[in-house]
Chain A
Amino acid sequence: MCPGSDIALAMPAVGSRPGQHSLAALVDDAARTPLSADFEPDQPGDEQPLYAARKKVYPQHVTGTFRRVKWAVLFVTLGLYYLLPFVRWDRGPNAPGQAVLIDSPNRRFFFFFIEIWPQEFYYLTGLLIMAAMALFLMNALAGRVWCGYLCPQTVWTDLFQTIERWTEGDRREHLQRDRQPWTLDRLVRAGTKHFLWLMIAWWTGGAWVLYFADAPSLVRDLATFQAPLIAYVFIGLLTFTTYTLAGWMREQVCVYMCPWPRIQAALTDEYALNVTYRYDRGEPRASLKKAAVLHEQGLPAGDCIDCLQCVHVCPTGVDIRGGPDLGCIQCGLCIDACDAVMEKIGRPTRLIAYDTDLNIKRRQQGQKPFYSIVRTRTLLYAVVIAVVGAVMIYSLATRLNDAVSVLHDRNPLFVRLSDGSLRNAYAVRILNKSLDSRAFLLKVGGLPDADVDVIGSSSFSGADPLIEVGPDQSREVRVLVTARERIGSGASIPITFTIVPKTGGTAASASDHFIGP
């Protein structure tokens, strides 16, 4: 053993005394992985092996409240993912009829009634801020809700594990089969499993590409091998990743690859609900018989009968009784498993429950447990979510259907014409976000006596140039502004470019300068 090992780590282990739990333990625990802990040191002294084999997890089937919640979430999230591309949304003749579509060639994102142009990508920033804050809030309220129920890795792994149980049997049966030599039966079962996995993985990749093109016609093209190569490449890529990550990697993704568990370790606190083994009630562990003997002798015996059901159902192979754990995705299946046992032996349920570190200590000291969702942290997270959400909704609701931007020519900044008058040139870009072709009047304000010419547009409405912009398009035109008055040396006169839809509507404007010699 290493020289430092005689210093006790502030960390609970199996059979360790309760009360060792502390915040320091949480931090310490995050650095430990439960899955690689199981190895035999193959060298004497303080040398550790550099790597450890993955210990295969055989999660056992379980029924109960949290299992039902997980099923519901699985059906809703996967249903949304697989079917959303087929939802239609009528936008008229000049736009695609798919409700959710990332139209890369045309640089548009369609989401039901919302259409996002590339320069409006900041909406994504807002969404990401809200998503991050929602994760923090979930964490502050009830731990790794995301990891346990909503994360795609969890959802697909759950589905793949269900198929594994269905083909190769539940935990005990599967373990037994794995120890036996390869038989035809075993081969057929394993083959069926991998076939089903691949089918789901393939469908997952297929659904992904449907978000990037008109779904029904792409399905037809894919089936007749008429679809672009890139579609097949992405389907192949996602088939591979889904199959590998959900079929083979599973909890290894959560433990070794995902950054969120690390962030989680820093975010949780003693007030946050976490899937917790109530060691105040469970310890010392004793089987039913042993507990009876202990009671006769007047010695304490906890409610935990050490049946290991909580460990057997765990999809990541964690023993929740060891305290907060990096490998624990907090799916609550151990709660279901333990409750079933407790009901059977006639003891109160929720020996493992969503509970806080603080409450265990309060109960130990004879105080009443309490839990409050309103804390400084949760309030702050909620406020940030609300503010960012409100800003986004406001800007979405008030954004104009058209916009104009102006860029002054940089070289030359101005030009003197043969009669001595001054001219400035601008690149004016007009955005028509409506789905109809529209004409805009261009008005230049700030120079009372100026000629405005638009290169490439010879039509006028009165004195104002008229610029036609196609549906859902932008158009850049070169605009020449010639001052008829005398412009002083070094002058920089603020001017505005205003576009007014010919058929009426809100005007949009942009400002720039008219620059003199």
Chain B
Amino acid sequence: MADRSKDARKPPAQIGTTGHEWDGIQELNTPLPRWWLWLFYATIVWSVGYWIVYPAWPLVFSYSNGLFNWHTRSAVATDLAELQQQRGPMIARLSAASLQEIESTPELLDFARALGRSAFADNCAPCHGTGGGGAKGYPNLVDNDWLWGGSLDQIAQTIRHGARAGDDKGRQGSMPAFGRDGMLKADEISTVANYVRTLSGLKTEPGADLGRGGKIFADNCAVCHGPQGKGNRELGAPNLTDQIWLYAPDKKTIMEGIFSGRGGVMPAWGGKLDDVTIKALAVYVHTFGGGEQ
């Protein structure tokens, strides 16, 4: 019974209060447990470890390197290498398969579309839009109209070599500047623009001389766009009879194109993106919905 006094609890008055009082309720000034205090000191000591283990201190011409030579930059490199390794087997299969095989194998198709989605967002979306919807002058990739062809191989070639980007295998051919270069006069441009609108069933201005327009078209435009205006994919000449307009179907925009010519540039991605990424992009774009066989 020697330790009875130790076990018996002391009246709170001996603990002391903080002096705070609310309606007669006082706040006891209970001390912290000592281990808590030690834990606090331990965290301070632990924090010193960071200075030693990680790069921390700026020196005059460099910085302290830390014990394990760990850097955020090398950590990213390691993560990327790990990712490459993880994707390795699928990348190898993608590399070996033809574009048609990729699209007919569900497993490869899913992987290629996932790969293509991120590559598209990184490289293509600035011009063609995040979903491939395009913009004025930048083709819509979701519809079923293609300037240079919509088969898997044609899409892959356009991505790889670009259009009018100085690549020998790239898509060549552009719309001449009929007005600026003096091939057509202003009234001829206006007349043929009216005629072009009729090809896709659009309304013409009252009194438009469609007969003369047709003649001007046959003489100047049919070489590339074809006698019926159906276009020519070898030259990237658009089909003028469908409902899809790269620029706009209004007469002013059409006249603008005839006067100054057109020739949008698509970069050649062959040197910038690896082959598997280009294949994935081709499959991704092809499966937007407008892909041709």
A residues near B, CB below 8 A?
A: 1-5, 7, 9-11, 13-14, 16, 24, 27-28, 31-39, 41, 46, 48-55, 175, 252, 256, 308, 311-312, 317, 319, 322, 409-412, 415-420, 423, 425, 453, 455-457, 478, 480
Contact = CB atoms under 8 A, between A and B. Distances in A.
Contacts of B29: 2, 48
Contacts, number: 161
B244 interface: yes
B21 A415 contact: no
B243 A425 contact: no
A31 B21 CA distance: 13
B108 to A, nearest CB: 10
Contacts of B8: 14, 319
Contact of A51 (B19, B33, B110, B239): B33
Nearest to A55: B6
A362 B211 CA distance: 113
B26 A412 contact: no
Interface in B256-293: 287-290
A37 B140 contact: no
A417 B144 contact: yes
Contact of A455 (B14, B130, B289): B289
Given A9-B26, A417-B243, A455-B289, 17 more contacts: A7-B24, A13-B10, A13-B11, A14-B11, A27-B25, A39-B31, A52-B31, A52-B34, A308-B7, A411-B131, A412-B142, A416-B143, A420-B242, A423-B142, A423-B143, A423-B289, A478-B113
A37 to B, nearest CB: 5
B242 A32 contact: no
A453 B27 CA distance: 73
A409 B8 CA distance: 74
Contacts of B11: 13-14, 16
Contact of A425 (B7, B17, B289): B289
B140 A50 contact: no
B19 A411 contact: no
B17 A5 contact: yes
Contacts of B28: 31-32
B contacts with A: majority SS: loop
Contacts of B133: 411-412, 415
Interface in B10-40: 10-19, 21, 24-37
6 contacts: A50-B37, A415-B289, A417-B145, A418-B243, A419-B243, A455-B287
Interface string B22-65: 00111111111111110000000000000000000000000000
A256 B37 contact: no
Nearest to B1: A308
Most buried by A among B13, B132, B143: B13
B26 A409 contact: no
Contact of A456 (B26, B36, B110, B143): B110
Contacts of B129: 411-412
B16 A256 contact: no
B243 A416 contact: yes
A105 to B, nearest CB: 13
Interface in B111-161: 113, 129-134, 140, 142-145
B143 A52 contact: no
Contacts of A478: 113, 287, 289
B139 to A, nearest CB: 12
Nearest to A467: B106
4 nearest A-B residue pairs (beta carbon):
A412-B133, A411-B131, A418-B242, A13-B11
A36 B17 contact: no
B27 A319 contact: no
A425 B288 CA distance: 8
A420 B243 contact: yes
B140 A412 contact: yes
B4 interface: yes
Contacts of B144: 417-418
A28 B31 CA distance: 16
Given A412-B142, A418-B143, A36 B131 contact: no
A34 B18 CA distance: 17
Contact of B9 (A28, A319, A411): A319
Given A2-B29, A456-B110, A418 B12 contact: no
Nearest to B241: A418
A32 B12 CA distance: 8
B99 to A, nearest CB: 14
A361 B103 CA distance: 83
B289 A54 contact: no
B91 interface: no
B109 interface: yes
Contact of A409 (B30, B37, B131): B131
Contacts of A425: 142, 288-289
Contact of A4 (B21, B103, B106, B140): B21
Nearest to B10: A37
A49 to B, nearest CB: 5
Contacts of B10: 13, 37-38
B9 A322 contact: yes
A53 B34 contact: yes
A162 B10 CA distance: 29
Contact of A418 (B4, B132, B145): B145
A456 B287 contact: yes
A48 B31 CA distance: 7
Contact of A49 (B18, B31, B110, B243): B31
B19 A4 contact: yes
Given A37-B9, A51-B34, A1 B143 contact: no
Nearest to A458: B104
Contacts of A410: 130-131
Contacts of B143: 415-418, 423
Contact of A1 (B6, B13, B134): B13
Contacts of A55: 6
A202 B21 CA distance: 48
A169 to B, nearest CB: 16
A406 to B, nearest CB: 16
Nearest to B134: A412
A33 B10 CA distance: 11
Contacts of B30: 31-33, 36
A399 to B, nearest CB: 26
